[in-house]
Amino acid sequence: MRNIININESWNFTKEGKTEKVNLPHTWNGTDGQDGGNDYYRGTCIYEKEIQKKDMPEGDEVYIQFDGVNSSAKVYFNDKEIAVHHGGYSTFRAKLDPIKETNKIKVEANNAPNDSVYPQMADFTFYGGIYRDVTLIGVPKNHFDLDYCGAPGIMVTPIVKGVNAEVTIKAFCNTDSEVVFEITEGNEVIGTAKTSGKNPEVTITIANAHLWHGIDDPYLYTATVRLMENGSTVDEISARFGCRSFDIDPDKGFILNGKEYPLRGVSRHQDRPKIGNALMPEHHSEDIELIYEMGANTIRLAHYQHSQYFYDLCDEKGFIIWAEIPYISKHLTNGVENTKQQMTELICQCYNHPSIVTWGLSNEITMNGSDPALIENHKMLNNLAHSLDKTRPTTIAAVTMCSIDDEYVHISDILSYNHYFGWYGGNVSMYGPWFDNFHRKYPKKAIGISEYGCEALNWHTSAPEQGDYTEEYQAYYHEEVIKQIIDRPYLWATHVWNMFDFAADARAEGGENGMNHKGLVTFDRKYKKDSFYAYQAWLSKKPVLHICGKRYVKRVEDTTKITVYSNLDEIELFANGKSIGKQKKGKYPFFYFDVKNEGETEITAKAGELTDKSFIKKVDTFCEDYRMKEEGAVINWFEINTPTGYYSINDTIGDILSTLRGKLAALKIILKLKSAMGSSDKKDSKKDSGMSLAGFKINKTMIEMGKGFTIKRVFMMLGGKFTKEQILEVNAILNKVKKPSK
């Protein structure tokens, strides 16, 4: 029989000549990958471990399994190279041979930049290390396959037909021995079959199948295969599965088991403070519970393959999952084989999970435009996904700047777009009209939102505006997007970016470097921002009542706005025990009250049996604790020269481009910044039909999106790529350009 032991404990870890004892999971970027500066260590580190033969699992053959080593790994056993794996998020294995009395395992883990392994350009930290479990698997000479792409060796395909489900089970083995197939429901065996031969498969019918129906009823069965010799079981593996059917209709959206089932949820990055991606089971469990508490029913697991433990939790809770590979931001000429490998591993390793309904081919891959090589790679991946899995559609997360007419957009079966209207340009009201336009032009293409969001830290204001990083603007932003989504049921899925704040070491925004703060929940999972409750009030089936702005106590205005989120029918608000009034719920679960701000006021909201409280205090001057503290190359207001009647970096791109002199100044600025970044490579300029800056192609769409930005904010978003002196040079250029007279 198969024997499995975990060998996470007591490894010697060596980085730059220094060795220490560590337990797995482990990353060497838990601190420097989260503090900003884009200077975290990216290179090769060594993990070594001795293991005695007596401590290894019994079996004629022993395999070592790595659930995740980022980004590339070379594995040695007794000084012999036994495996090389490129791709930091999937499982791989190698056979240990020959086994001695004392054995040495050595792993060279490497997250250094290169031009062939994805991801290389993305807005998150690429944590190096052996950050998931390592196990040893002992098996008899004849056993189910352990050599193909880290796959489990069993593939289960349930097809719902009427009230029944026909379940095809395929076992992967290279032997003529008999294989017994079994389906169990709880502890009861409800179906069996047996056959033999290489990679045998059978179909077993479940009569009156209990369907897996998302978060409402995530019912699971178990399929087991046993390899038999002389009437005895020599190897056994199993997989849980769910019986469900689904369709994605361009007009009605997602349909589960014949019923409309709108997919509304979040995206997830997995990392945590200090430990990066080196998570324990309790971390995954906490994440799934928070998402469940919010009321979501779908998760986009971005931008890479996540832990099998987390996929299992998704199966159990009933979340609908978008799973994808890290083919992101930039097409690498030398990375084609790696995209093929990572797609194969994703599908083969995750095939049995009923929660997964679509395979993501890429994310924002047209950042630098679309070209024939990129198109061909997507067609290859699309065909590959369909050849490996005939039951699930493919999808793409396209970036705003990509035209809806681009060939690339129409390769996958379904589609979603990443839009940040109201944060990275434009305004928040643009979502509905944009998607309506797409839906009119391509009525047969299912369209959704793969990313949308904005950043919020513990900054506060009574006059929120785009780019201020306040909790109040984030709440307003999500209220407005929710309203537009509610009015458009044709959107097959919508995924907030992001459920949790996450590390992006290149960032210098919002007053805390190294982080992306678009999460509805803070990085440490300790604080749920107001926007979390906006979604809970919309999506949760449990009663919800939440007063916003609890961290915003000191306020200067005489009358202040109090926002309440609830899914209950009527809300009453009280100030120091006196009723401000009642409001009945309309189409959207948001309530707004004007409250006099005098002295100290206890705010109480009541709805049904629920009560929530907050507190405000009148102050004469704005509390500076609530104002964003900018760091790095971001310049203080008093350092910016703003001569009357002339432009400065405090002006918006739209205003500057509204005059001929402004356009000429903008061109001069772009050329200067390109030169400063050393991006005037002649070879690249021949390929580019337009101008690029900081890796982003400057085109008409991008300019239209950016018209709402001040130049200062653009520099903030570029994450410290320019010095204070360079920014002030830009300001000096603008100071010479006269504004039009009013």
C-beta separation of 24 from 134 below 8 A: yes
Biggest CA–CA distance in the chain, Å, is: 95
> CA-CA distance, 712 to 635, in Å (whole number)?
8
Q: Which residues contact 419 (CB under 8 A, 6 or more apart)?
A: 400, 430, 431, 434, 449, 451, 452
457: left (phi over 0), alpha (psi -120 to 50) or beta: beta
The answer to whether residue 631 is catalytic is no
H/E element, 285: helix 281-294
Torsion of CA 16, 22, 24, 25, to 10 degrees: -60
* b/e map 203-233, b = 16+ CB within 10 Å: ebebeebebbbbbeebbbbbbbbbbbeeeee
Structure-token pair, residue 691: 């101008």
Beta bridge partners, 83, equal 75
Q: Of 209, 223, 220, which is closest to residue 161 (Cα–Cα)?
A: 209
> CA-CA distance, 118 to 123, in Å (whole number)?
13
HEC per residue, 317-334? HCCEEEEECCCECCCCHH
Residue 524, φ and ψ in degrees, nearest 5: -85, 0
* b/e map 716-727, b = 16+ CB within 10 Å: bbbbbbbeeebb
Residue 380, φ and ψ in degrees, nearest 5: -60, -45
C-beta separation of 451 from 267 below 8 A: yes
**What is residue 446's DSSP assignment?**
-
SS3 label, residue 468? coil
Beta bridge partners, 347, equal none
Residue type, 343: M
Whole-number Cα distances in Å, 99 to 5, 102, 137, 146:
16, 8, 13, 18
H/E element, 717: helix 711-717
Q: Which of 364, 455, 471, 509 is an active site residue? A: 364
Structure-token pair, residue 625: 């604790």
Structure-token pair, residue 653: 């791109």
C-beta separation of 298 from 322 below 8 A: yes
Structure-token pair, residue 247: 């369709």
Residue 714, φ and ψ in degrees, nearest 5: -55, -45
Active-site residue set: 364
